[in-house]
Structure 1
C-alpha cells in the first residue's frame, strides 16, 4: 500500500492511514507500506537547496530546519505520544545531517544533481519514521526502512533514476521476511546506486517505488492511496460530470498517466504488468469507495472510449523546409539534438511531404529546443523553426478504439461542430490513444465536447 503526500500530510491524515492499515492487518493481510513526504515538504526542500546554492546573503537554512522540525514533531506528538523522545531523536539526527549538507552547498555555491537528490530525499526519510511510530502506537509491530535499505537499486541518473532488475531479489530477501510479524514502512521516491549513492525516481516516484516493492515481494495487489476516489474519466477541474472508472487495463492506465492523469505515475504500471499484479487506486479520505482496478484484461465497452485527458504547460514546435524532403537522416538529426540537450519529445507528427515535422515538448524546455534547432537552420538543413506556447495536448483513450471504425471521425466531427480548431494530430499503431493539439483557450471546451460525445458521465452495462 502506497500513501501519497496528502494522505500523510498532517497528524489527522496519518491517523487515518493507521486506521486503514489496522483494518487490513486485523483481517490477516500481510502489508508492506510505502509513503511519500508530507505534502509540500519536497517542494520546500527543492526551494531551500536552490536558495543555498545561489544566495549571496546567508540563506535561511536554520529557520527552514526549525520549521521542518516543528511540522514533523507536531505530527509525531499527536500520533505517537509515547515515542516522542525516541523517534524525535531520529528526526533530530536526520535534520542535523540535512542542515550540514545545505550549509556545504551554500559554502561551495554548488548544487550537483547528486547532492540535490540527497537533500530532497529527506521528506520521505522524516515521514516514514512517523508513520512507523504511529503503527507501533496502535500495537502493530513496525520498522521504517529507506529505499536503499529495502533493496531499491537504481541507475545513477540523478533526479529521474530507473530501478535495476537486480532490485527484485534484494527486496524479496529484505522485505518479504518482515511481513510475517511486522509492517515495514518504506520511503517512496528514493533508492540508491549499487555503490550506495542516494538517487530519486522523479515526479510522483513513490508510485513507482510502491509498484517495484510489490513486484519484489510478489504481492497479490498494489494499492495506491491518494486523495481522489480513483481514475476519473477526465479532469474534474476542467469539466463537469466526471466519473470514476471501475476498471481499466494496464495499457489504458499507461496512456492516461503519460497524458496528464496524475493519479498514477507512468512508470508505476510496468512493474505490476510484469507479474500480472492488480493495481487498485483508492481514496484515503473515502476508504470504503471501491476505487479503480487496473489489470491486464481490457474491458471493451460498447462506448469504446474510456477517458479524455490533457497535458498543459506544453509548446508546439514546427520544423519546416523543402530541404528536408527526401533527405535521409533529417529526423534523426533533429531528435538527436533535442535528446542530447535533455528535451523530451512527447508527441510527433510528420507531413507526408516530409517538409514539416511537428512536435510537442514541455514548455520549460522551449528555449533550449529553439537554441539547439538553430543549428540545422544555420546549416541550411531546415528553413525555419516556429513555436507556439499557448497550446494543450488532448488525448482520447480506450482499448475498445482498436479496430473500431469511425472513432476518429466522431472525435473530429464533434470538435468541428463546436468550431474548435485542431492544430496537430498523432495516433499510435496500438489505436488505444488518439492525441491532438488545440489552443489553450479552447481545451476545456474540447474536453467537455468529447466527454459528452462519448457519454462518459454515464454508467455502462459492460463495466
Structure 2
C-alpha cells in the first residue's frame, strides 16, 4: 500500500487536480493508495480570515465565503461529469451552509474561541477530499472517502498537538481491515479530541496526517508531494543558488523543519522515526525529480553542512541581574513559568557568569512570556536583583544543520568569520548537544545577506572539486601522481579544477585522507597505511560519497576491473589503462557502458589502445558525427614496435625483449605483449567502438612465438625459450631485409572481421620507418575512403600512459 500527501498548491485548480490524478494513477498501477489531501490552495487562510472578520462584526466575510463556495462548485462542474454532479454539489452546499451558520454565530457573539477556530479551519480539507473522491469515482476508480476525524484522536491547545496514538492506531488499523478500496481519499489536518469534538493537527498538519496513518499501518514510506523539489540547502526564494537535497536524516529534517524549512511540518517525523519509515518529499509538477528522501542516515550528503535555514517570526527575551548569579534553581523557576504558560522556547543561551539568560520564543508569545516572567520574579525585580524582562524584536535565527558537523572542526569559525566579514552582527549563539545545529540570532534585516553569505561559504566553490581514488602506484601510477602535483596550480587557475587525491592503493597497502593526501609524502604514508583490500577500498570510496569522485585504475589486474561495475553503479566515474574490462565478454563491456549512462558517471579508457594518443577519442568523434568506419589498420603495440625496431639480429632477440621490459614498454608479463593478446584486445576495443559485437576469440591471431614459449609459466622460462628460438627470429628478420621490408606487428579490422599478426611492410607503406615505441592508426571511413585519417605518436611508456590517464581525468572534470 502506498500513502501520498498532496498540499494545497498541488490542488489549487481543477487543472492541477487532474495532474495530481495522473501521479496517483501511476502509484495505483503498483498497489492500493491512501491519498491525504490538503484544502485547495489558499482556502484555509480564507476560512480563518472570515472567522476573524466575523468576530470583529465585519460583514465582508460574506463576500469571501461566497467566492469560496463558487470556487468549489466550479471545481465540481469542471472535474465531474454532469450526470454524476448532483450528489457532490449537494454535499458541497451543505458544508458551506454549516460554515455560514458558524460564522453567523461568531458574528453574533463577537467572539472566536479556539474550539470554533479549529472547527472552521478544517472545512477546507473536508471539501477538497469530498470533491476529489467523487472525481476518482467518475474515472471508474474504486475510491473511498475516509474521514480522518473518525480515525485520529488528539488534543490541540494553542497549535500544540498531542496525539493519542493508542486510540488513533487502533482506529486506523481497524478501519483499513474492514474497508477495501483501490484508493482512499483522506482529508488532512483534521481530527477529533477525546470527547469527539472536531480539532486539527496544526497548520501544515496534512503531512502529519499522512505520517500518523503510515506509522499506524507500518508502511515502508510516506510520500509528500508539494510544489518544490524536496528540502533545499537554503530557502530558494531567498538564495537563488540553493539546490534540493537528495537525502537527509530524520534528525537533519527535524532541525531544518523546526528552524523554518516550511516544506515539512515538524511533528510529521514523530510517528515515523522509531519505526524507521522513510519520508519522500517530491514535486507534484516535476514527478520525475528525485526530491528528498528522509531516512535513518544521510550518506548521500557529501558536505559537512546539510542545510541553512532561518526563523524570522521570533523575539528575544533577555533576563539579567546580579540576583541570578550562583542562585540554584533560578533556571528551573524560569522555565516552569514558561511551561505553565504553554510557551515553547526556540533557543536558549546563558552567559557563563550566570548574569544573564537569553531565550527566543515565537513573536506572538513574547508579550505573554514577559508578563508571566515579570510576575513570577516580582520580588527579585522590586529588590533590583534582576531587571524586568527586555523584549528584542526585529531579530531572526539562522542555523547551520548537518549530521556530519559533529565530526568536523572549524565550522563555527567559518560561519562566524563569514558573517563578520560581511558586517552581520550576531546577537546570540547556541549549539545543540548533538552538534548537528549551530544557531545564531541576527537582525532580521540581515537575513537574506546572511543566508547567501553562508550558502556561498558552505555550498558554493569557485572551482569544480574532483576527488580521485587511485589504485596502482607503480610505474604509471607514480608518474600520474607527479603530473597531478606539478599541474595542480595550472588546473585550478586555468581550468577551475581543484583535483584532490583522497585514496591510494597498491597490492599491499591502501591509504585514505578525506582532506586530501599530501602528494609530496605519499610513498611514506602509503607504506605505513593499512593493508589493502579491494572491497574495503570500494566501500571507503562509497562511504566518502563525494561528488565528482573518480576511481583511477593503473593496474592490469582482472580482479580490479571486476569492481568497475560497482563504482559506476554508485555514480563514481572510472578512468583506466587496464584493458581487461573493455576486452572482456561483450556483455560485460556493454553493461559498463550502460551503467555509466544510467548513473551519470564517466567511463574513460583512452589509454587502453594508444597510451597518450587520442585514438579512441578520434574514433568516437568520427562515429558520433555520423561517419562509418570501413577499415582500420594499425600498429598498436609500442612494446612490439620497440622490439622489432631494435632487433637487427646482431643482439639476441630475448635481450631486446629484456630491454623493452626494463624500460617499461611491456606488461609485467611480457608474453601478453609478444603473444599478440595485448594487440588483439586493442583491436577488439576499436572494433567495439566502431559498432561491432566481437569477442576476443573472434580475433584471428597469427603467432610468431612457439607454443612452448607461449605456454611458459614464468618469465625466466619464457626468456630461456626465446633464447632457444633465436634462429627462427634471425630467419624472420633476414627474410624481411631481403625483401627490403620491415617487420611490424599489425592489427586490422575490415568487414566486421579482425586479425593481428607479424607482417612485412615495404618502404612506401605508412608503417615503414615507425621509430621507437611509436604507434600508428589508419582510419578508413566513408569520409576518408582513400587517404585515411592517421593518428601517430608514442604509444607506450609510463610517462605517456600517465598523461593519457591525466587527460581522461580532465575530461571527467570538464563534463
Scaled by the length of structure 1, what TM-score is found? 0.94
Match of 2:49 in 1: 47
Give the C-alpha shift of residue 421 in structure 1: 1.8
Alignment partners' CA distance in 1, 2:416 and 2:23? 45
8 Å contact kept, 2:55–2:111: yes
| CA distance in 2 between partners of 1:456 and 1:340 (Å) | 45
Aligned equivalent of 1:21: 24
Query: Does the 8 Å contact 1:128/1:186 carry over to 2?
Result: yes
Computed over aligned residues only, the root mean square deviation of the Cα atoms, in angstroms, reads: 2.0
Deviation per CA, 1:354-391, whole angstroms, max 9, x where unpaired?
11001111222222233223332534452242222121
Task: Indicate which of 404, 409, 427 corresponds to 2:408.
Answer: 404
Aligned match of 2:356: 356
Deviates more, 1:279-288 or 1:297-306: 297-306
- The whole-number CA distance in structure 2 between the counterparts of 1:160 and 1:373 is 21
Which residue of the partner structure matches residue 170 of structure 1?
A: 171
* 346-355 vs 358-367, greater mean Cα deviation: 358-367
Structure 2 unmatched runs, 5+: 466-545, 550-570, 572-815
| Matched ranges for 1:27-426 at <5 A | 27-55=29-57, 59-60=59-60, 62-82=62-82, 83-149=84-150, 151-157=151-157, 159-166=159-166, 167-175=168-176, 177-178=178-179, 181-299=181-299, 301-375=301-375, 376=377, 378-380=381-383, 381-426=385-430
Secondary structure of residue in 1 paired with 2:10: coil
Contact 1:15–1:134 at 8 Å: present in 2 too?
no
Q: Distance in 2 between matches of 1:350 and 1:411?
A: 20
Equivalents in 2 of 1:226, 1:43: separation in Å? 18
With 254-263 and 186-195 compared, the bigger mean Cα shift is at 186-195
Q: Matches of 1:294 and 1:145 in 2, distance apart?
A: 27
Q: CA deviation at 1:61?
A: 5.2
Q: Is the 8 A contact 1:114 1:158 kept in 2?
A: no
User: Bigger CA drift: 328-337 or 208-217?
Assistant: 328-337
TM-score by length of 2: 0.54
Match in the other structure for 2:433: 429
Deviates more, 1:267-276 or 1:453-462: 453-462
The 1:428/1:282 distance shift into structure 2, 3 A limit, reads same
Task: Specify the alignment match of 2:7 in structure 1.
Answer: 4
State which drifts further: 69-78 or 294-303: 294-303
**1:88 is paired with a residue of what secondary structure?**
helix
Q: Distance in 1 between matches of 2:65 and 2:198?
A: 21
Q: In structure 1, how many angstroms separate the alpha carbons of the residues matched to 2:67 and 2:457?
A: 50
Instruction: State the shift of 1:448 in Å.
Output: 1.4
Do the aligned partners of residues 99 and 309 (structure 1) sit closer, same or farther apart at CA in structure 2, a change above 3 Å counting? same
Q: Distance in 1 between matches of 2:386 and 2:200?
A: 38
Q: What is the CA distance between 1:106 and its match in structure 2?
A: 2.1
1:393-419 Cα distance to aligned partner (Å, 9 max, x none): 001000001232222122122222323
SS at match of 1:87: helix
Give the alignment partner of residue 446 of structure 1, picking from 447, 450, 464.
450
Larger RCO of the pair (alpha carbons < 8 Å, separation 6+): 1
Instruction: Give aligned pairs, total.
Output: 458
How much does 1:196 deviate? 1.1
Q: Deviations over 1:154-196 (max 9, x none)?
A: 1253644322112112111113554x53311111111112321
Distance 2:80 2:177 in 1: 26
Distance 1:363 1:157 in 2: 17
Change (3 A) 1:452 1:211: same
User: 2: distance between equivalents of 1:391 and 1:156?
Assistant: 28
Q: 1:231 is paired with a residue of what secondary structure?
A: coil
Quote how far apart the aligned CAs of 1:104 are. 2.0
**Offset at 1:446?**
1.5
Tell me which moved more, 135-144 or 124-133.
Answer: 135-144
8 Å CA contact retained: 2:144, 2:181: no
Structure 1 unpaired stretches of 5+: none
